[in-house]
Amino acid sequence: MMTATTCAPVFDANNTPTVPPAFWEHFVSLSHDKTQPVVLEQGALIEPLLSLEDAFDLARNVVESGDMTVNADGQMLKQPAVPGFPHAFDGFEQFVRDFAALNHADGITFTRDYCLKHSGTVATKLRAFTHGYSERYGMPYPGANAVFIGGRYRSTWIGLHNDSCDTFLFPLYGRKRMMIWPPAYFDEMALEKKSALNGVCFGHIDVTPYAADATIYEVGPGEIFFIPAGWWHYNKLDELETTLTVSVGMFSHGTAQGFCENPIKAAMVSRAGTALTGAIAQVPGGVFESLADVALPLPVAQFVDSIRDNSKIQMLLKLSANGIIRDRTLGRPGGAECWQRVVRARADSPLYLLALDQEAGLLFAGGAMLRVQPLPAVRALINVLQGGAPITLAEALPEQAGNEHLHSVVRWLYEQAAIDVFT
């Protein structure tokens, strides 16, 4: 059992939990530097990262939005019948039973890829989790994607498959009995491979012939199960069991083209992209030592600069969220009054301030961006927060006591879970 201590001031339940560096040292040791599957016990974290309430609220948001994929007894449903979602968790077991019965099935699974748009709370907590991974292995790109999995079933709803990402499973309710095979195990077998969203899938095949070679991992609520990229897995239970699970995939297979795709689209519809080039001035013949000596027409050069600038802004956004893919309109609720209280910047949310001119800038935190001014005051704020120690802003920046705009910036940082506030 790993033990760790924290030097945080008096804990405030509104703050996002912190994942200590010792957790990741423990993970690296157990997983042989993320090359082997491993179950991380409940005591591996100082405080629970995700709660059952978090998962239940996420399930409610997913179901009530209708933004989900429903599978009944192994079959995708295009227009599933959905019962009303319960007001409290004690009604969840009956809900999934009713869900299955309404669709004439024994088992039912409802899932949502990119589920963090449905919960700012889960998004900020998972950002705290991915920070240690990013410190050791770099920020995952295109990012860290979370999948919500709920329902009542015996086996993995898409069947035997692998994923192209490192995966961390967080079962919050119910258990997993995961059968695992190494990446090369099925290479020489005549099985039909189907492309899946995040990897390769064999579907609902009979795994009995391969069961003796599988390693079985029992994972209970509150534990974390790590599956390295490429490992085949299949959750197989003896009976129907209810689950609420969040799966986090660390994707690092992005391409330069993918990185620039959105910045290019943004530049194409910008003023720089629609500017007329006009006639291009003739260039006298001669010898160029390199392409650096060849000047593009000014409108074209400005368009290229726009793509480069947009790419840098996108990178700062992703870095400030440790690669978590989320809806930037979702933040931590509360908007606490922070000026007179003890605050501390979170290590898992680097702050970036980009000056636009002498008075205005862009502030990046938690995967979100805010235009700020006056720049000197915000610069002073970021400088005192970057120290990492708990501070009282009223004492650290007494000259800004009446600067309501700066106070609103501090509240915004709290909402993005970039700072914590303590009693």
DSSP state letters, 180-237? EE-TTTTTTS----EE-SSSEEEES---GGGGGGPEEEEE-TT-EEEE-TT-EEEEEE
Pair 146, 195: CB distance under 8 Å: no
Token code pair at residue 197: 């969203």
Q: Which of 335, 331, 324, 319 is nearest to 119 (CA)?
A: 331
DSSP state letters, 308-348? HHHHHHHHHHHHHTTTB---TT---TT----TTSEEEE-TT
> Whole-prediction pTM value?
0.90
Residue 1 predicted with pLDDT over 60: no
Token code pair at residue 396: 């650290």
More confident site: 2 or 227: 227
More confident site: 335 or 163: 163
pLDDT band at residue 330 using 50, 70 and 90 as cut-offs: low
More confident site: 264 or 121: 264
Residue 114 predicted with pLDDT over 50: yes
Model pLDDT for residues 358-372, shown as the tens digit of each residue: 999 999 999 999 999
Question: In the prediction, which pLDDT does 328 show?
Answer: 60
217-244 mean pLDDT:
96
pLDDT band at residue 325 using 50, 70 and 90 as cut-offs: confident
Q: What are the chain's domains? A: 21-251 (2.60.120.650), 342-422 (3.90.930)
Taking the C-alpha atoms of residue 319 and residue 351, their distance in angstroms, rounded to an integer, is 9
Helix (H) or strand (E) holding 53: helix 52-65
Q: How many CB atoms lie within 10 A of CB 185?
A: 15
Q: What percent of the chain has pLDDT over 90?
A: 80
Which of 68-72, 191-195, 207-211, 295-299 is the least confident region? 191-195
For 238, counting Cβ atoms within 10 Å of its Cβ (0-12 exposed, 13-18 middle, 19+ buried), the class is exposed
Question: In the prediction, which pLDDT does 95 show?
Answer: 98
Q: What percent of the chain has pLDDT over 70?
A: 94
Taking the C-alpha atoms of residue 36 and residue 217, their distance in angstroms, rounded to an integer, is 12
Question: In the prediction, which pLDDT does 13 show?
Answer: 55
pLDDT band at residue 334 using 50, 70 and 90 as cut-offs: low
Question: In the prediction, which pLDDT does 69 show?
Answer: 96
Residue 8 predicted with pLDDT over 60: no
351-356 mean pLDDT:
97
Question: In the prediction, which pLDDT does 12 show?
Answer: 54
* Relative orientation angle of helices 21-30 and 120-137, to the nearest 10 degrees: 60
274-287 mean pLDDT:
94
